[in-house]
Chains A and B, each alone.
Chain A
Amino acid sequence: MSFLAGSNMVGGYGGADILKGCTVEVDEGEIAVIVGPNGAGKSTAMKALLGMLELKSGSVTFKGKDITHLTPQARIAEGIAFVPQTSNVFVNMTVYENLEMGAFLRDDDITQTVEQIYELFPVLADKQNQLAGELSGGQRQQVAVARALMSQPSVLMLDEPTAGVSPIVMDELFDRIIEVRQSGVAILMVEQNARQALNIADKGFVLVIGENRHTDTGEALLADPEVRRSFLGG
C-alpha cells in the first residue's frame, strides 16, 4: 500500500459526481503528477485527498491508516501540506510571517527549518521582511511552497504550482521540487504543463472525466504514443 493513496474515489460538490472512481497514490521520496484535460477532476481528486469534499465511496489512506473521514484540519495535523493554486500566500503578512504561519501547528523551534527553506529558496531570505503581496508571481509561488514546507510535512500537495509563471520560473520551481523530493517528502501535484511535469515525475496519472485513463511511470507515459497524441500535443 502506498504512503498516501486515494482509491476508487467517487464524489463531487453536491451535484453530479466529478470523480467517478479514480485512484491516485504517492510514496515517500516520489513525485506523482496528475494530468489531464480541463474538467477531468484533477483538482477535485486532490481536494478529495485533503478532505475538502465528501466521498460517496472509495477511501483515502495515509501511513497505512484510513483517514477517509478526517477533517482537512486533522489531515494537516497528520502531516499533509497543501499549496492551493491561487490565493496561496498571506498577502498582508511578511515573507517570514508567512513561514511562521506555515509552522503554526508546530511547538518546537523553527529557526532551523527556516534556514533550510532559505537555502532552498535563497531569494526569500533577502525578502523576508517584505510583504508577500508585494512580490512577483514566481516569488509568491516560492513563498507558497515554502509556507507549506514549514510544517515539515511528509506529503506535499501542489495544485498547479506553475500556473501563470514564466517558463524560466517554472523550470526553477520544478528544480526546487526535485530538491524537496530528495529530503524524502512525498509530492503530489496537479499540472497543466503536462510534458514538463511528467519529465520529473516518478508516477503519472492521466485523468479523463473523473477516471484514470492511464497510470504509469512518468517516463513510460511520455513514451506512450496514445498519451502523447491525446494529451501532450504530439
Chain B
Amino acid sequence: MEAIIDITNAIVLILNYIIVPGLSYGSQLALGALGITIIFGILRFANFAHGDTMAFGTMVTILVTWWLQSKGVSLGPLPTALLALPVGIVFTIGIMVATDKLVYKHYRRHKSAPVTFMIASMGVMFMMNGIVRFIIGPNDQRFLDGERFIVRARDFKVSTGLSEGLSIKVSQGLTIVIAVLLVLALFWFLQRTRTGKAMRAYSDNEDLALLSGVDPDRVVLVTWILAGILATIAGTLYGLDKSFKPFTYLQLLLPMFAAAIVGGIGNPIGAILGGYVIAFSEVMVTYAYKKVFIYLLPSSLEPSGLMQLLSTDYKFAVSFIILVLVLLVKPTGILKGKVI
C-alpha cells in the first residue's frame, strides 16, 4: 500500500511538472511552428519575423482586453482575452497582408533567392519589434483574468489524500483545447476545401499547380491569413500562460524554428509533432527529478543532488541540440519535409 502511494505520488509529480506544462507549452510551440512551416511551404523562406508577428497580435489582443476590462466586460471564469482575440487576429492579418504587398511581393515577382526573403524578414522583424515596443513598451504585461485554476493543488491533495498536488491552470487547459480545435480546423481546411487543396498543391509543386489553374496570389493571401490566425492565437495563449514581454517572443523564434525543422519543414503534421518533441525535451531535461526518485527509490539510495540534467537556463540548448541531431541524422526531419 505504501509503495502504491509512493508510486502515485511520483506519477502526480511527473504529471504536474512535466506532462501538463509540456502539453501546454508544446501546443503553443506547435501553433507557432505551424505558422512558420506554412509560410515556408508556400513562400519558401524561413520567416524571422514570426516571433514578432506573434508579439504584435498578442499586443493588439491585450490592448482590446484592457479596454473590455475597463468597460466591465468579462467572460466569467474564462479570460476576457478570448473576446479580444478576433480583433487581434484581424489586425495581425491586416499587417501581414500589408507587409506582403509592400515587401515580399516585389521579391516574389523577381523570383529572388530564399536568402533575400529571409533578410527582408529580418527587416520586417525589426519594424514589428519597434512598433510593439513603441505601443506597449518593452516590459512584462499581464492580462489574464477570470478563474486561475481548473484543478488546484490543494484541492487535489485534499480529495486524493496524496502528498503531491496536481494543478492545472485555466490557461493551460485553454491552450490545449484551443490548439486541438484549431489544428482540427486547419487540417479540415487543408484536406477538404478547394482553397486548402490548392495550397497543398502549390506547396507540393508550384509549376504544376499553376498549370492546373491555381491562382498564386490567392494562395499567398490565404497563407498570410492562416499565419496571422496561428501567430495571434499562439502568442495570446503563451502570454496568458506565462506573461507577455516582446523580447521573450523574439526568443521563441528558436524553439519554433527547431520544432518546424525537426518535424520536417513544410509539413504541418511535422510542425505539431516537432512542437511537442521540443517542448517535452525542454521540460524533461530541465526538470529536477530528485523528489521523483525519493518516492521511487528506497531511502538508502536517495539522491544527493537535484537530479537535474541541465539548468533551466539551458532550455535553448535543448531545442538546439535536438535540431542539430535531426539535421545530421535525418535532414528532412522526422516526417519528411521539403528538401530544397
Query: Taking beta carbons and an 8 Å cutoff, which residues of A are in contact with B?
Result: 72-73, 76-77, 82, 84, 87-93, 97, 100-102, 104-105, 147, 151
Within 8 A of A (CB), among B186-207: 194, 197-198, 200-201, 203-205, 207
Residues of A within 8 A of B215 (CB): 73
B213 near A92 with CB under 8 A, answer no
Cα distance A100–B269 in the bound complex, in angstroms = 22
B267 to chain A: closest residue by CB: A92
A101 near B207 with CB under 8 A, answer no
Cα distance A196–B234 in the bound complex, in angstroms = 59
A92 near B204 with CB under 8 A, answer yes
B200 near A92 with CB under 8 A, answer yes
Per DSSP, are chain B's interface residues mostly helix, strand or loop, or mixed? helix
Question: Given contacts A100-B197, A101-B197, A104-B198, is CB(A90)–CB(B208) below 8 Å?
Answer: yes
Cα distance A102–B214 in the bound complex, in angstroms = 10
Q: For the complex formed, measure the closest distance between the CB of B204 and the CB atoms of chain A, giving whole angstroms.
A: 4
Which 6 residue pairs are nearest across A and B when measured between Cβ atoms?
A105-B213, A90-B204, A92-B204, A104-B212, A101-B212, A104-B213
User: Does B211 count as interface, using CB distance less than 8 angstroms?
Assistant: yes
B213 near A87 with CB under 8 A, answer no
A81 to chain B: closest residue by CB: B211
Residues of B within 8 A of A151 (CB): 212-213
Query: Taking beta carbons and an 8 Å cutoff, which residues of B are in contact with A?
Result: 194, 197-198, 200-201, 203-205, 207-215
A84 near B207 with CB under 8 A, answer yes
Q: For the complex formed, measure the closest distance between the CB of A30 and the CB atoms of chain B, giving whole angstroms.
A: 22
Q: For the complex formed, measure the closest distance between the CB of A228 and the CB atoms of chain B, giving whole angstroms.
A: 35
Cα distance A91–B212 in the bound complex, in angstroms = 15
Cα distance A103–B47 in the bound complex, in angstroms = 33
A50 to chain B: closest residue by CB: B211
**When the two chains form the complex, which single residue of B194, B208, B213 contacts A89, counting CB atoms closer than 8 Å?**
B208
Question: Given contacts A93-B201, A101-B201, A104-B198, is CB(A84)–CB(B208) below 8 Å?
Answer: yes
Residues of A within 8 A of B209 (CB): 90, 101
